[in-house]
Amino acid sequence: MQAEQTICVYCGERLKETDDHVPPKSFYPQPRPSDLITVPSCLRCNQDPGKDEEFFLATFMFSYAGISDAGKRLWAEKLHRMYEKNLGLKKKIVEHLQHAEIVTPAGLFLGRSMAIKTDELRFERVVNKIIRGLYYFEYKEPLPAATKVMTLFLSEKKRFEAAKNFAAELKPGSKKWKGIFEYKFNRVATSLSESMWLLLFWDFATFWTISFDEDHFRERHLKR
C-alpha cells in the first residue's frame, strides 16, 4: 500500500516539496540552534513570502531589536552585506527611513534614532504564515486553509493592554529561543480552528494573533 502523501500546511492544496523553517531561519544568528521548527511545504509557499520576510527582518533591525544581542550578531554576520547586494530592498529601506522614538516593550524610552516606517500588511503576511506553521507543529494537524487569521502588531500601549487581558489563557510554546523567538498559544477545545497566539521576536517585536472560522463566527453572533 502506497504511503499517503503529505500536503503543504500553508495552502492545503499542493504536495510537500520541501521543509520550511518556522519562523524563517534567517531570523536566527549563527550558530543557529539545532532544534529549529520545520513543517512540510510546497516550493511556492516556501519561497513566495521571501521579500516580505526580508522586509520584516530589515524593519526590526532598525529598531530596538537591532541593538539586542541577536540583532548585533545578525548585523555582523550578513545583514549589511544583504542590503548591499539587494538593491530593491536597499531602495525600500531608504524610502521608509524616518526619525522615530525607540521604546522597549516594557515602555522604556531610549531616545530618537533612525527607523523604518512599519508596513503592518507585510508584517501580517509574515506572521500569519508563521502561525500556520506553529499550529501544525503544536497540534500535529494543519489549520484549514479557509480559516481566517488576524494579526495585530503591539506597537502601542493600548494594544499591549488589550492583549494582556488574554495572556493568562495562553500556555508557553513547546520550544523557545531566548532573545530570538518565543511564543505562547492556546485553542478552543470545542472549535479547533479558533486559536490565540502571542509572538515575541528579538525581545522587542510583539504580535497578537487569533484564528477563527469566519462562517461559524458569523452564525454564532447571528443567533444572539
- Average pLDDT of each block of 10 consecutive residues along the chain (224 residues)? 71 95 96 96 96 88 84 80 58 53 53 59 95 97 90 84 86 97 94 92 93 69 50
pTM of the model: 0.82
**Nearby residues of 60 by Cβ (< 8 Å), 6 or more positions away:** 66, 71, 201, 202, 204, 205
Among 13, 18, 66, 21, smallest CA distance to 40 is for: 18
pLDDT of residue 145: 79
Q: Quote the distance between the C-alpha of residue 4 and its chain's center.
A: 30
40 phi, psi to nearest 5 deg: -70, 135
Question: Residue 177: beta bridge partners?
Answer: 181
pLDDT of residue 223: 53
Task: State how far the alpha carbon of 17 is from the alpha carbons of 14, 131, 134, 207, in Å.
Answer: 9, 20, 19, 29
CA distance 212 to 196: 9
Q: What angle do CA 104, 165, 185 make, to 5 degrees?
A: 80
- Cβ atoms of residues 110 and 173 within 8 Å: no
Task: State how far the alpha carbon of 162 is from the alpha carbons of 153, 156, 157, 185, 199, in Å.
Answer: 12, 10, 9, 16, 15
Whose cell is 502561525? That residue is 131
